[in-house]
């Protein structure tokens, strides 16, 4: 399939979108999840509610992450103990697609009413592994703007990455963060390491339109449901994040991303601290108008930034044409053009560093 050439986000066929997402999961070392997603093509042949809704999806299926919405619903059935038959599928004992199709279709028909609400909203894949790229971006910025940062994250979900100052990183041999942290972030590193040096996060906060409270077991379980079942390291990271949030809750507000950015820029900024807008794998979920407001707001603020009070934008987002996850950074004054620093595995398993 040459789907990337036409822009995967622009795929209009639901069947094609499910196949692409299944193949993408397989390429991302999650073949068991890929088989469950592919089995949803067989679900389309039924007349249950989720089949009707998927077939009549009112937008671009991959743009809306529709396949990942329903995949989260199936994983939730397993995590709650209501679909033990998925156990052999998720651990790879059952790998024939026809048998996986049979299991998934039977579950879809039995749990149709319970699965349907999973299609109502986008997945919240709050992944600590992505913060490896974000921290590498801060290390790069520290060489240019100084080591002190105020981080403001949009689309923060449960705030997993607004606790990044509490994580221990090994980024190709560049180590940063508290050595005794229960959260160990050590991706496979390709290319030279990011620059070594101090990073001091003076303040860090985030927003989400529907923030997840990790202290609520039901909400925490929903977040875990969006983690691909093959990814045991990711599940361990979510558990570590839940532990850290229990010790000190992340600073989160329920707010529109555009309003959050406006509020961020209206706050007094201490001298010697770089104000950072940060986000990862969430930009596609924002309305186009909100994206435009944020871009215009940052341009205006950047024009007013000074070397004493710099502004930076750190983003790990999906390239809509290649579906590769790219770390790009810009800063004011002096670095107004986007710099492509790295590409990364969608959940942080590896980072390929291009920055110098």
256 confidence band (pLDDT: 50, 70, 90): very high
Lowest mean pLDDT among 2-16, 25-39, 66-80, 213-227: 2-16
- Cα dihedral 19→101→281→163 (10° resolution): -160
Read off the pLDDT band of 219 (50, 70, 90).
very high
Residue 6's pLDDT band (boundaries 50, 70, 90)? very low
Task: Return the pLDDT at 126.
Answer: 86
pLDDT at 117 over 70: yes
pTM of the predicted structure, to 2 decimals: 0.81
pLDDT of residue 9: 64
Q: What percent of the chain has pLDDT over 70?
A: 97
For residue 338, CA distances in Å to 92, 150, 154, 209, 341 come to 42, 20, 19, 27, 9
What is residue 8's predicted lDDT score, i.e. its pLDDT? 65
| DSSP element (H, E) containing 334 | none
100 touches 89 (CB < 8 A): yes
If you average pLDDT over residues 134-146, what whole number do you get? 98
Average the pLDDT over 306-311 and give the result: 98
| Poorest-pLDDT segment among 24-28, 100-104, 154-158 | 24-28
Q: Which residue has the tokens 């990455």?
A: 161
Q: For residue 2, what pLDDT band results from cuts at 50, 70 and 90?
A: very low
DSSP per-residue letters across 75-136 = HHHHHTTS-GGGHHHHTTS---HHHHHHHHHHHHHHSHHHHGGGGSS------GGGHHHHHH
Place of tokens 């088989």: 35
């Amino acid at each position: 399939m040459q789907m990337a050439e036409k822009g995967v986000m622009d795929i209009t066929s639901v069947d094609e979108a499910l196949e692409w997402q299944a193949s993408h999961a397989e390429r991302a070392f999650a073949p068991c999840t890929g088989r469950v997603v592919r089995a949803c093509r067989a679900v389309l042949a039924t007349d249950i509610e989720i089949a009707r809704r998927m077939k009549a999806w009112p937008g671009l299926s991959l743009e809306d992450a529709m396949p990942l919405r329903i995949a989260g619903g199936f994983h939730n059935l397993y995590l709650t103990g209501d679909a033990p038959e998925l156990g052999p599928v998720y651990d790879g004992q059952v790998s024939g697609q026809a048998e996986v199709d049979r299991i998934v279709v039977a579950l879809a028909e039995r749990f149709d009413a319970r699965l349907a609400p999973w299609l109502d909203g986008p997945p919240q894949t709050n992944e600590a592994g992505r913060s490896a790229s974000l921290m590498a971006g801060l290390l790069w910025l520290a060489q240019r703007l100084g080591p002190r940062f105020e981080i403001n994250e949009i689309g923060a979900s449960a705030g997993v990455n607004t606790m990044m100052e509490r994580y221990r990183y090994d980024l190709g041999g560049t180590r940063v963060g508290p050595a005794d942290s229960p959260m160990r972030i050590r991706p496979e590193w390709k290319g030279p390491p990011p620059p070594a040096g101090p990073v001091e996060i003076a303040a860090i906060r985030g927003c989400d339109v529907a923030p997840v409270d990790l202290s609520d077991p039901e909400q925490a379980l929903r977040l875990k449901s969006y983690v691909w079942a093959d990814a045991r390291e990711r599940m361990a990271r979510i558990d570590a994040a839940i532990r850290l949030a229990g010790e000190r809750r992340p600073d989160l507000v329920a707010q529109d991303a555009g309003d959050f950015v406006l509020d961020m820029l209206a706050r007094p900024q201490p001298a010697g601290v770089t104000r950072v807008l940060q986000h990862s794998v969430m930009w596609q979920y924002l309305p186009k108008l909100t994206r435009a407001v944020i871009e215009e707001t940052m341009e205006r603020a950047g024009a007013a930034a000074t070397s004493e009070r710099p502004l930076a934008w750190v983003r790990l987002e999906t390239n809509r044409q290649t579906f590769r996850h790219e770390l790009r950074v810009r800063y004011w004054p002096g670095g107004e053009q986007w710099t492509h620093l790295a590409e990364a595995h969608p959940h942080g398993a590896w980072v390929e560093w291009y920055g110098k």
